[in-house]
Chain A
C-alpha cells in the first residue's frame, strides 16, 4: 500500500461526458502528479501540483483540467470525452517538489464507450 488513494477504481462512461477523478496523496506529501497510461504506452505525464499551485504541465489536453485543494487532495477533470481518452489514470505523490521517488496510487481505469 503506497498510501496514495485514488477513486473511482473503474469508470465507464459515454463519449461527450465529463468525469472527475480524485486523488488523496500520502500523508504529508505536498506534490501531486497525474499520469495517463493508454494501451501499449508508457506513463505520460499530465500535470504537477505542489501545495495547491500548478508547477508544470505535460501532454495534457485542453479538455482536461486539474486542481489541488487546501487539504492537498487533487482532482482531474476530463470533459467532452472521446474514445481515445480510455486509459488508466495514475496519481502519484511526493513530499517535496524536487527530490525522491514518486509514490503511485492504484489508478483509475476510464472506459469511454
Chain B
C-alpha cells in the first residue's frame, strides 16, 4: 500500500518557466511533509518542508503548497533552471508516530528535466 504517491514519473519544463511537482498521500496521520532532490550518484538532499498547520511555505525559488482536505501537496519551482534537473522525492511523516521513530515515507520520485 503506497501511502505517498507521485503519479508523474517525469516532467519536462523550459528554462525560466514554472515547474510543478505533485504528491498525494493517503495516511491522515501524516502531519509533516518534505521534498528532497536527488542527483545521480548522490544521496537525496533536503529541499523544503511544511507542517500541517500551514498551507504554504516558501524558500527562494521553491514553494510548497499543502491541501490537507485533498491530501495533496505540490512543489513549485520558479523560475526553473537547468541545474534543477534532478529526481524530486516527496516524503511525509506522522510527526509523533509510535515509539518516537519519525521515519519518513517516500514517494517514488519525479524526474524533472529543465530544458535550456
Interface contact A56-B108, CB-CB below 8 Å: no
Give the number of A-B contacts (CB < 8 Å).
64
State whether A40 touches B108 (Cβ < 8 A). Answer: yes
- Contact at A97–B100, with CB atoms within 8 Å? yes
Contact A42 B89 (CB under 8 A): yes
Asked whether B60 is an interface residue with its Cβ less than 8 Å from the other chain, the reply is no
A80 to B41, CA, bound (A): 27
Given contacts A56-B99, A97-B100, A101-B49, A45 and B105 within 8 Å (CB-CB)? yes
Q: In the complex the two chains form, is A42's CB within 8 Å of B106's CB?
A: yes
**Least CB separation from A6: chain B residue:** B43
A46 to chain B, nearest CB (A): 9
Quick check: is A103 within 8 A (CB to CB) of the other chain?
yes
Kindly state the interface size class of chain B when it binds its partner: 20 to 34
**Contact among A42, A45, A55, A98 for B108, CB-based, below 8 A:** A42
Q: List 21 A-B contacts (CB under 8 A).
A: A33-B104, A35-B106, A42-B107, A42-B109, A43-B89, A43-B91, A44-B106, A45-B104, A48-B101, A48-B102, A48-B103, A55-B100, A92-B43, A98-B95, A98-B100, A98-B102, A103-B46, A104-B36, A104-B44, A105-B43, A107-B43
Residues of B that sit less than 8 Å from A by CB: 4, 6, 34, 36, 41-46, 49, 89, 91, 95-109
Give B32 Cβ to nearest chain A Cβ, in Å: 9
Chain A interface residue count, CB cutoff 8 Å, equals: 27
1/0 per residue A49-79: CB within 8 Å of B? 0100001101000000000000000000000
User: In the complex, what residue of chain A is closest to B100 when comparing beta carbons?
Assistant: A97
Interface centre among A4, A43, A50, A107 (most CB of B within 10 A): A43
11 new A-B contacts at CB < 8 Å, known A2-B43, A99-B102, A106-B41:
A33-B103, A42-B89, A43-B44, A43-B104, A48-B102, A48-B103, A50-B100, A90-B43, A104-B36, A105-B43, A106-B42
